[in-house]
């Protein structure tokens, strides 16, 4: 998953989270099962960012949720898991990075459509 729009514009926030539900190998994204989006107008606190991600993950069976290290302010994985229902981990393999990259493009494009 990835979040676009953590910055303030004209005194307002518009965070868009995209979740890509995929099966992966070591270096390749094998297949995409589905995608989910969610929007938040709150400041990007840990609680707001995890909230919008949890909402974007529409399929509860999709585990673990994977994000770049900076996404949740480098907080330890166990702490992020307190906010999210499913298991959570930071990216490790090349395939996971590729998938997060896909989510990044989706979140960025969705936010541009909304503006």
Partner 1 sequence: MKAILAKRVDDGTASIDELAELARAAGYDVAAEVTQSREEDAAYQFGEGKVAELAATVTERGAGVVIFDNQLGPYQTYNLGQRLPDGTRVIDRFRLILEIFGQRAQTRKAQLQVELAELRYELPRVEAKTSLAKRDERPGFMGLGEYDESHEQDIKDQISRIKDELDVIADKEADRRQKRRESGFDLVALAGYTNAGKSTLLQRLAAELEIGENDELHPDLDPTAEAEDRLFTTLGTTTRKADIERRDVLVTDTVGFISDLPHWLVESFKSTLDAVYYADLVLLVVDVSEPMDDIREKLVTCHDTLYERNQAPIVTVLNKIDAVSDEELEEKRRALSALAPSPVAISGKEGVNIEELKRRIDIELPAWEFERLVMPMTDETMSVVSWVHDHARVEDVTYTDDEVVVEFEARPSIVQQSRSKASDLTAAPSA
Minimum distance, C-beta of residue 3 to partner 1, in the bound complex (Å)? 20
The DSSP call for residue 42 is S
Token pair belonging to 32: 């995409």
Q: Is residue 77 at the binding interface for partner 1, with CB under 8 A as the rule?
A: no
C-beta of 28 vs 42, nearer to partner 1: 28
Cα distance between residue 3 and residue 14, in whole Å: 10
Applying CB under 8 A, the span of 12-20, 41-49, 77-85, 94-102 interacting with partner 1 comes to: 94-102
Q: Which residues of 89-106 are buried (b: 16+ CB within 10 A; e: fewer)?
A: ebbeeebbbbbbebbbeb
Which of 3-11, 21-29, 44-52, 78-86 is the region at the interface with partner 1 (rule: CB under 8 A)?
Answer: 21-29
**DSSP track, 61-92:** T---EEE-GGGGTT--HHHHHHHSSS-EEE--
Residue 104 interacts with partner 1 (CB under 8 A)?
no
Closer to partner 1 at the Cβ: 6 or 89? 89
CB nearer partner 1, residue 71 or residue 96: 96
- Please report whether residue 94 would count as binding partner 1 according to CB under 8 A: yes
Say whether the peptide bond before residue 64 is cis (omega within 30 degrees of 0): yes
Interface with partner 1 (CB under 8 A): 25-28, 92-94, 96-97
């Amino acid at each position: 998953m990835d979040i676009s729009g953590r910055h303030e514009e004209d005194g307002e926030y518009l965070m868009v989270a995209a979740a890509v539900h995929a099966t992966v190998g070591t270096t390749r994204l094998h297949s995409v099962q589905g995608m989910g989006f969610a929007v938040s107008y709150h400041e990007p606190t840990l609680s707001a960012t995890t909230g919008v991600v949890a909402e974007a993950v529409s399929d509860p069976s999709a585990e673990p949720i994977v994000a770049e290290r900076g996404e949740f302010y480098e907080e330890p994985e166990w702490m992020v898991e307190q906010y999210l229902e499913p298991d959570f981990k930071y990216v490790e393999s090349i395939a996971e990075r590729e998938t997060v990259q896909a989510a990044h493009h989706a979140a960025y494009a969705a936010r541009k459509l909304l503006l």
